[in-house]
Amino acid sequence: MDPAHSDGVGAHRMPVATMAWITDPHFDHAKLETWREWADEVIGHHPTALVLTGDISEGDDVSYQLRCMAETFDRPIYFVLGNHDFYGKSIGGTRRQIIDLARDVPQLHYLTDCGPVMLAKDAALIGDDGWGDATQGDYENTTVRSNDFELIDDFRTSSRDTWREILQREGRQSGERLSSKLASLPKSVRHVLIATHVPPFRESCWYEGKTTDENWAPFFVCGGVAEALRVAAEANPDRIHTVLCGHTHHDGDAEILPNLIVHTGYSRYGTLDIESLIELSGDGFFVPRVVEAME
Ligand SMILES: [Fe+2]
Ligand SMILES: [Fe+2]
């Protein structure tokens, strides 16, 4: 049984909303025919909204793809950005561009720039991009050379000595933004869905059924977001915190605390998936893994 729904078989009530969760689509790697089949599949499930946890595409194609989605799916699209979405630009410049786009297209909701979205009286959605923030693992001795350093202006135009500081700043700021959103949730909220790109905890950083090692953790875990989530979950034991993330392209679930569960989604370049059709009912969020990849 999914840990988010461990309150007994048959306890599940009729959903009030079904959201299609998509992660790491990397649309720039998918053929148009694959995109069309996938879009038909999404529409066929009649979701009330889409939730997208980053790595939409790269460079200017990110805005293009978001506009295409808004035109194709006649429902709200809630999203965060992943590291690939910043390729060819700066972090701040990309965010400003996407904030402008989302303010221009009412269907698009860039969660990093949004306060809590109330999905029901007792359920809310929040989100933030997150970043592999060099707070976990062995940054000093890692052999991993992320393309982010070549392809994102903030790193490309600064010396290697400053990279760690930039990574940590991004993670810290993501955590701070999420903390204030979590703190602003009305007391009536018993279930909160948190969308982010990078797995916040090592325990949620899956690769081929195992969690990350020291070598990869600096770039695949967001300690800043983890801290925000842990503090909020401990301070609010009666509220269930359900986290959706991607980035590793390998799926798994992790129960960090009884009221803090992280779902990490699967992806493969060139294919498009629906990671889950998330149901929101009086029992909270149910995140079944259902749908096969299309290519
Ligand atoms: Fe990705
Ligand atoms: Fe990523």
278 SS3 class = strand
Cα 96 to middle of ligand 1, angstroms? 21
Alpha carbon distance 22, 12 (integer Å): 23
> Which residues have their alpha-adjacent CB atom under 5 A from ion ligand 2?
55, 82-83, 247
Cα 9 to middle of ligand 2, angstroms? 35
Cα 21 to middle of ligand 1, angstroms? 14
Cα 130 to middle of ligand 2, angstroms? 10
Q: Which ligand has the shortest distance to the CA of 249? A: 1
Q: Which amino acid is at 280?
A: L
- Predicted structure pTM score: 0.94
Ordered DSSP codes for 81-101 = --GGGGTTS-HHHHHHHHHHH
Cα 46 to middle of ligand 1, angstroms? 25
Give CA 233 to chain center in angstroms: 18
Superfamily of segment(s) 3-286: Metallo-dependent phosphatases (3.60.21.10)
Q: Which ligand has the shortest distance to the CA of 146? A: 2
pLDDT at position 9 is 39
Cα 199 to middle of ligand 2, angstroms? 10
Q: Where are the domains of the chain?
A: 3-286
pLDDT at position 1 is 36
**CB distance 51 to 294 below 8 Å:** no
Per-residue pLDDT tens digits of the chain, which is 295 residues long: 344 443 433 445 667 789 999 999 999 999 999 999 999 999 999 999 999 999 999 999 999 999 999 999 999 999 999 999 999 999 999 999 999 999 999 999 999 999 999 999 999 999 999 999 999 999 999 999 899 999 999 999 999 999 999 999 999 999 999 999 999 999 999 999 999 999 999 999 998 888 888 899 999 999 999 999 999 999 999 999 999 999 999 999 999 999 999 999 999 999 999 999 999 998 999 999 875 656 6
Alpha carbon distance 133, 147 (integer Å): 15
